[in-house]
Amino acid sequence: MAYDDIEVEIKLKADDTATQAIKAKLLKNSPTQKHHIDTYFDKAQDSFLTATPIREWLSVRQRGDKVIINYKYWYFDKNGNSTHCDEPELVVENAEAAARLLKPLGFEPLVTVNKHRTEALINNFLVAVDEVEELGSFVEIEATKSYGSIQDTLNTLNAFAVELGLNIADITHKGYPHLLLEHHLGHELAQ
């Protein structure tokens, strides 16, 4: 959920204790259960993976009966940590049609992220527990509105994570496709 096509969120690797604690908080806020299948595409020539850090992702997202072509362009702080991304999206008829559209443009499937999500809106933040196939559990907290600058919004997200009892030292600045590629390769990709 981006506001004005900009996504500002934090993602934390979560152990069983943190996962259960956040799920208990979500239960008090009418959570929804979702199954997301996101297929990420890349092209051999001008690959997204050649940039350090990786700046772009193009995916076809399946959200129940809704299919979305999603493009993310990431911005980074001086330490190379992602701060936010532009996130335009386009709803399409089906995933197969989207893949057929991308193929003549040189895009091929790279990796598929399969996750089960429990999410709820808490104090203007979308809080989610993601169970990601092959990677484990994560907590994502996303701003649903601006809190000033991008840095002010990130500071607000970090403070809210602490309020929820999470350790912000567990924040990862890598997206699920990045983490899944590293998992498959058995080593870290340049960031």
| Residue spans per domain, the chain | 6-185
Asked if residue 70 lies in contact with residue 58, where contact means CB atoms within 8 angstroms, the answer is: yes
Whole-prediction pTM: 0.90
Q: Is the pLDDT of residue 2 over 70?
A: no
Give the per-residue pLDDT at 189. 76
Asked if residue 37 lies in contact with residue 177, where contact means CB atoms within 8 angstroms, the answer is: no
- What tens digit of pLDDT does each residue of 132-179 get? 999 999 999 999 998 999 999 999 999 999 999 999 999 999 999 999
CATH number given to 6-185 = 2.40.320.10
Q: Is the pLDDT of residue 186 over 90?
A: no
Separation between Cα atoms, residue 119 and residue 58, nearest integer Å: 23
